[in-house]
Every structure is written in structure tokens, then in C-alpha cells.
Amino acid sequence: MTVTAAMVKELREATAAGILDCRKALQESDGDFDKAVDYLREKGMAKAAKRMDRAANEGLVYAYIHGGGRIGVLVEVNCETDFVARTDEFKGFVSDVAMQIAAMSPEYVSRGDVPESVLEHERSVYRAQALEEGKPEKIVDRIIEGRMTKFYQQVCLLEQDFIRDEDFTIEELLKTQITKIGENIVIRRFSRFQLGESLGG
């Protein structure tokens, strides 16, 4: 399979990876575009993983107001240096994260932030549902775990599909940014406010 310059260009535009990396990915995947994207993502994630244990104490606290003042988000995203915090690339990522929070209402950053009491409650509800549906006891635990995965995808920011490109989760988007920028990035915390939500109803 001959890898053409046009193929490399298309892959580079889609992934922001380097020219040589794109060419190698296409060669490794016999010109299959989707497999080449996966190859680069796997390679990129490996690079990102090495950076994810480095301290990140700089960054931005960013405020985003949506819907004419009906929804507000305050989010803190950290990186390693003040230089990176001032770049358009980093600011754009933080803005995307804030928009995601406004649109999709996550409750936690990651699985590790969900209190054990909440998890126990969800599991007991799913168990009762499965038994009510007449599912055999021996497969109930599997059903519960499947439903817990969907629960995490709803309430955990990192596990949500990115609103601008549902081929990526927020965690994958984060790791792509780490690879591109070359520093560790951490979504530290956020608050989301919706007009009147605390009034009930």
C-alpha cells in the first residue's frame, strides 16, 4: 500500500500529529485511516501517561456564562508552567471543558471523586431493577456493572463524550492535549450554577 502525501495531510489535520508519525501510522495500518488514527491515539496516550504523574500547579481558573446568564461554570485546570497557561492552545482547551460542563452537567471530575455512599445507592437501585425485570441472580452483578459504566459516563466529566466530537471522551481529549503541549494537565475542580435550580420544582 502506497502512502500518499494527501493521506498524510488528511491524517495530520485530523490528529495534529507530526508528519513522520502520520506516515508511520498509515504504513503500520496498510493505509486504513481509522486504524491509523487509533495507532496515533494509542501512541499519544503512551506519551501522555508518562507526563501525568508530574506536578501541575499553574493554570487557569476560568468562568463561562451560557444562555444569557442562565448557566454559569467556574473551572480550575492546571498545567506545569505559567508559560503554557497563557497559550491559546491551553485556553482553548479550558474553554472547551467549561462548555462541556455547562452543556452536560457532570457532577464529578472522575470516578475517584464519586462518594462510596452514592455508588452503593446506585448499585442497590440497579440490583432491585434487574431483579424486578426477572433477570437471573447469576447475571445480576454483570448487569449492575454495565449500568454503573453508563452512570459514570453521565456523571463523571472525564468519561463523557466530548460535545464537539463524540469520537473522543473528555479524558482522551485531555491526553491529546498533554501530548500536544508536552506538559501534564489536570482538570482540578469545577462548579456549575443553573438559574433557579436550588429552588426545586
Stretch 57-67: mean pLDDT: 94
Q: Are the C-beta atoms of 187 and 97 separated by less than 8 Å? A: yes
| Domain 5-51 fold | Helicase, Ruva Protein; domain 3 (1.10.8)
pLDDT at 17 over 80: no
Q: 58-110+156-199 — its CATH code?
A: 3.30.479.20
Architecture in CATH for domain 115-154: Orthogonal Bundle (1.10)
Please report the pLDDT score of residue 16 as a whole number: 64
Please report the pLDDT score of residue 84 as a whole number: 93
In angstroms, rounded to a whole number, what is the distance separating the alpha carbons of residues 109 and 120?
19
Please report the pLDDT score of residue 201 as a whole number: 40
pLDDT tens per residue across span 121-146: 999 999 999 888 888 888 988 999 99
Domain ranges of the chain: 5-51, 58-110+156-199, 115-154
For Cα atoms 154, 45, 51, give the angle at the middle one, nearest 5 degrees. Answer: 105
